[in-house]
Chain A
Amino acid sequence: MGPAQTIVIDDEPHHLVGLADTLNRHDMPCRQILFSGNIEGVDAFPDARLIFADLHLGTGVIGSDHRTDFSTIGSLLEGAIKPVGRYGIVLWTLYPDQAPRLEEFLRERLEGVEKPVGVWPLAKPPHLDEDRIRDEGNLIDEIRRAVDQLEVLINKPDAAEVEATLARLFNQPEDGPNETLASSVPGLDVRLDDWMDEDLSSLGATPRAILRGDDAGKLFLLQRVVHSIATLRAVSHPHVVRDIVRHRIEDMYRQGVSMELVEGPDVGEERTAPGLAHWMDTENPLFGHCTPRQFFEADQVDVMRLRGISARLDAVDDGAFT
């Protein structure tokens, strides 16, 4: 299982465990916070991308305006969780109609932390049967329907990582490019700085702007462009690309994207570090007559095979994105 990017906060233990277990069982590993009123007791979680919060976190204020409840969620964000980057809130509550007001409240009043990109309602009553989750499948389906940016929030590429990859790609390795092939790849000799300021017509922005901006969709597309560059550069700098391909596979394994590329014993159910190690040491036809580890650690790079694997990864990215 990959690292948790999701938090569930509730002051009702049954509701908390019910939702958290459901998320965990459906590939959305989450951290649970049973809120007892002690904000100081809640750890920071800057990587949180999706926060399921109950509206009533035990403020004890009875009224219909819920301002103290909103303020409590705001204080949790500002004073405890401190999310960095894009994140959204799912209001897991008996009062789903309050979601737009909470969003307005947070957008207006949060200071010192990012504001959520959205607050989506998720009504408790239809999913709870005497404090137990009635139908996990329905609950997950509704979450997917309700949170229109779910994929983008949870699986959003990390801008710093994309930038670092670009830097590696454009950096000339010691053995230099393959001159024959370099001549057939346009723009191969462009400097990184220049390329970063080129308007990518398919994205309507420069790579630099995308990396500095907040548009997850464009960042996804940029990541795919980078993958394509990597594939091209594999021709001239295969060693660099081999590292990138390996990193992409590991990342994919972590995220649990289902594909034949990462199939094997312990894969699918338990996407753990030992699972990955096992997969790396299991012979896989995609890598020729060797294990993935042998492939990545070989002195000589099988350029054609590497291009094939890279193309497969692109295809998976496509599927995951669309």
Chain B
Amino acid sequence: MAEELDNDPVEVSRPFRPRARVLQLLGDELIGSPRLAVFELVKNAYDADATRAVVTLDLQSDDQPTITVEDDGEGMTLDVLQDVWLVPGDDHRQRQRARGQRSPVHHRLPLGEKGLGRFAVHKLGNQIKLTTRAQEAKECFVEIDWNELIQKPYLDEAPVTIRTRPPEVFADGRTGTRIEVSELRPPAWTRGEVRRLCNQITSICSPFQERGDFLATLQVPGNEHWIEDLPDFAAIIGRSIWKFSFLLDQGKFDWSYEFFGVSGLNLDSRTVTKDGDRLQLPTASGRRRRKDRVVADETTIKGIGPVLGEFYVYDRDRPVLQRLGDTRLLATYLDEYGGIRVYRDGIRVYNYGEQGDDWLGLDLRRVNVPTRRISRNIILGAVHLSLDQSDAMIEKTNREGFVENDALGRLRQIVLGALGTLESERQTDKQRIRRLTEPPSDPVTDGLETPIAELRRELQRHELGETLEPVVARIQRQFREMQETLLAAGMSGLNLAVVFHEVERGVRVLYQAIVEGKDLEAAAIQAQELMRILDGFATLLRRDSKKQHTAQHLVNQARTFNLLRLRHHKVQLECPLMEGDGDFEATFSLSLVLGALNNLIDNALYWLRVRWPDPDPGESPLRRLYVATTDDLADGPAILVADNGVGFQEDSPADVTRPFFTRKPDGMGLGLYYANLAMELNGGRLAFPKRQEVDVPAVYDGAIAALVFGRKT
């Protein structure tokens, strides 16, 4: 007290004095699971330049089961043990990586950087015996009782004894490190847990690539049968229906798509390969959105390095799955291990691709467009990064993925963009499969009543009725109205069944999500997506009566609607019609045809940005849009919409007007379908005239579409 009352200043210099339990915090409590702990130890073996790491789970003795991790790496000398291993947070690996210093034998950059991995061992058990031997050094032995150690008040009062001895474990000149853990936590390992551990250990090194210079394996002495029938990864990927591989480097996107066919279905395999393509990026979420850029460029991989990917995709629609044989094994495997993993220098980065980690939001994406999107349980995929070029990808201290930063956001966009390319190509083959496997459905009888009733029951059961009922009621009402209106208008031939089926499927997926107790937020988003589809069609239902309008009035409306977008994206609109050039009158529902025209402009705007990612800041705009009229088509006057974007490429008119067909990463695939439908409802059609059929200036060398109005009768 006297000191406190004394006004003389006091200066005390003291180091931090950590409690011994800090080791428990760094190991047991920081690392999320025993699996991650094993992974950390195996990673240390990799950094020690080992060729193999063997994990042995010896459960034969009920009293004293052990986990041992042994490698044939460079081992540690007494000095290294003292100066590095016993120093939490030592940064010698990080410095090695920063210097680009590679290991002597396998020329690896170190994965470790934080100097904490070894404490993960505490997650596995309380008793640790470490034996290590470096070249031309004595064998060192350390024994640690974590419980005893963390009982000490301060870390500096908890000494660890290192003993050196003539080689016992690493005799005959061998080097390496062996860590034996006993008093396991959890004490018992079930068959299922061991099988999962085995799969995880074997996935530490990329099974997607040829075996490299490092191999991690699991042994379960006395219980070998527990893991001997585990599905072989190579055999599983051998049963995939699609394979997609890609490389994004320097803004260039090289990819290869393969459809292998389905046994028992008369379908040719199909391969598409492109080099130097543009990678279309989906919109990034949140603040990390890269404004106005829809394709990747050299900067997209900054701090990430080249991205190499490989996806194997399956089809779980019943008619296909049953043709694949042993469906249960495949389905179980995909349920458990489906997803896209990340590897860095061939070593896995957890938790990406694990069961509880949907880092790309694949499942939610699929909910939005169930028939086209790929969910985690139909894909086995890997993304490979290079350690020395992915310096912006920083691993979290708890080993559960990368720190959320701009680079990770871009990596997500890249992978989703690549997946989008695969999905675009896959649509064609999915369509071919469906033609052979799905019975024709009738839009008149395909009702939504049963699935909706089931959904309502589940919502009530989960006490979500009040929240989601307004949405469900709206979906039901709009679906019914859409069905009645379109069928009454004689539109049954226009792929309506596909749209109705998609809505019905969406309701069923929503039902499933509720049954499985998935979170309300996801269910709400899903319900909203369904509404979005139906809302678009609501315009068809509310269409104003057909009246006589001029083409100029229509185009002027569309121009006004899109003015802000055209201006912002520096798109030069050439529109002779605004000067009265080629105007004509036709009888149509203004809102419907305006919607059709808006969809064409929306498409043009996107594809112009794909072809011309950077608009010329000068006076001569690169992006050009042409809206004019023509009377060159036999069935009536038309409004032409042409651009100098990428064009329709190899897609046929039937493809692009098919519902849910799209090549935009964020697209729903309903725009051109809607445009076609809207024109048909007005006695016209959506056409894609060839360049020689219409008079369009040569500069518009991209897509040409025409809203054709029927001739007056």
Contact = CB atoms under 8 A, between A and B. Distances in A.
Interface of A: 11-12, 36-40, 56, 58-65, 67-68, 70-72, 74-75, 78-79, 94-95, 97, 105, 108-111, 125-126, 128-130
B528 A59 contact: no
29 contacts: A36-B591, A39-B560, A40-B560, A58-B542, A58-B594, A58-B595, A59-B594, A60-B539, A60-B592, A60-B598, A60-B674, A61-B598, A62-B674, A63-B536, A63-B668, A64-B532, A64-B668, A65-B283, A68-B565, A70-B564, A71-B562, A71-B565, A74-B563, A78-B564, A79-B563, A108-B568, A109-B565, A109-B567, A126-B470
Contacts of A71: 561-565
Contacts of B535: 56, 62, 94
Contacts of A12: 542
Given A111-B567, A126-B470, A37 B594 contact: yes
Given A60-B594, A95-B528, A109-B567, A39 B542 contact: no
A75 B529 contact: no
Interface string B544-569: 10000000000001001111110110
Contacts of B473: 130
B21 to A, nearest CB: 44
A12 B538 CA distance: 10
Given A60-B539, A60-B674, A63-B602, 20 more contacts: A59-B595, A59-B598, A60-B536, A60-B598, A62-B533, A62-B537, A63-B668, A67-B565, A67-B602, A68-B562, A68-B602, A70-B564, A71-B563, A71-B564, A75-B564, A79-B560, A97-B528, A109-B564, A109-B565, A125-B470
B598 A68 contact: yes
B339 interface: no
B567 A60 contact: no
A276 to B, nearest CB: 41
Given A65-B283, A75-B563, A79-B563, A60 B591 contact: yes
Interface in B111-133: none
B596 interface: yes
9 smallest A-B Cβ distances: which pairs?
Answer: A60-B595, A62-B536, A125-B470, A74-B564, A62-B670, A71-B564, A109-B564, A71-B565, A60-B539
Contacts of B599: 60-62
Contact of B561 (A68, A97, A105): A68
**Which of A62, A67, A78, A125 counts the most B-chain CB atoms under 10 A from its CB?**
A62
Contact of A65 (B542, B567, B666): B666
B270 interface: no
A74 B535 CA distance: 21
A238 to B, nearest CB: 54
A114 B485 CA distance: 42
Contacts of B387: none
A37 B670 contact: no
Nearest to B528: A95
B491 to A, nearest CB: 16
A58 B470 contact: no
A64 B364 CA distance: 14
B565 A62 contact: no
Contact of B590 (A37, A39, A79, A105): A37
Interface string B580-615: 000000000011101110110110010000000000
Contacts of A68: 561-562, 565, 598, 601-602
A94 B527 CA distance: 11
Contacts of B563: 71, 74-75, 78-79
Contacts of A111: 567
Contacts of B542: 11-12, 58
A220 B79 CA distance: 74
Contacts of B671: 61-63
B430 to A, nearest CB: 21
B30 interface: no
B181 interface: no
B471 interface: yes
A60 B528 contact: no
A128 B470 contact: yes
Contacts of B509: none
Given A58-B595, A60-B678, A62-B670, A109 B557 contact: no
A36 B564 contact: no
Contacts of B539: 58, 60
Nearest to B667: A63
**Which of B535, B591, B592, B601 counts the most A-chain CB atoms under 10 A from its CB?**
B591
Contacts of A38: 557, 590
B566 to A, nearest CB: 9
B564 A110 contact: yes
A60 B536 CA distance: 6
**Which of A12, A59, A105 counts the most B-chain CB atoms under 10 A from its CB?**
A59
A196 B568 CA distance: 41
A206 B312 CA distance: 68
Contacts of B591: 36-37, 58, 60
A94 B667 contact: no
Contact of B560 (A62, A65, A75): A75
Nearest to B540: A60
A82 B671 CA distance: 31
**Which of A11, A63, A67, A110 counts the most B-chain CB atoms under 10 A from its CB?**
A63
B474 interface: yes
Nearest to A123: B470
A308 to B, nearest CB: 53
A126 to B, nearest CB: 6
B44 interface: no
A63 B598 CA distance: 12
B341 to A, nearest CB: 28
A143 to B, nearest CB: 18
B627 interface: no
B608 to A, nearest CB: 13
Contact of A36 (B283, B544, B666, B670): B544
B539 to A, nearest CB: 5
Contacts of B533: 62
A60 B557 CA distance: 13
Contact of B666 (A60, A64, A78, A95): A64
Contacts of A62: 532-533, 535-537, 599, 668, 670-671, 674
A40 B554 CA distance: 12
Interface in B649-704: 666-668, 670-671, 674, 678
A63 B603 CA distance: 11
Contacts of B670: 62-63
Contacts of B474: 94, 125
A70 B667 CA distance: 17
Contacts of B562: 68, 71, 75
B531 interface: yes
A270 B677 CA distance: 50
Nearest to A74: B564
Interface string B261-282: 0000000000000000000000
Nearest to A38: B557
Nearest to B563: A75
**Which of B533, B568, B667 counts the most A-chain CB atoms under 10 A from its CB?**
B568
Contacts of B529: 64
Contacts of B674: 60, 62
A60 B560 contact: no
Contacts of B66: none
B368 interface: yes
B543 to A, nearest CB: 9
A108 B532 CA distance: 25
A11 B557 CA distance: 16
Contacts of B561: 39, 59, 68, 71-72, 75
A251 B537 CA distance: 47
A63 B536 CA distance: 8
A61 B565 CA distance: 14
A110 B390 CA distance: 39
A114 to B, nearest CB: 15
A287 B205 CA distance: 91
A295 B283 CA distance: 66
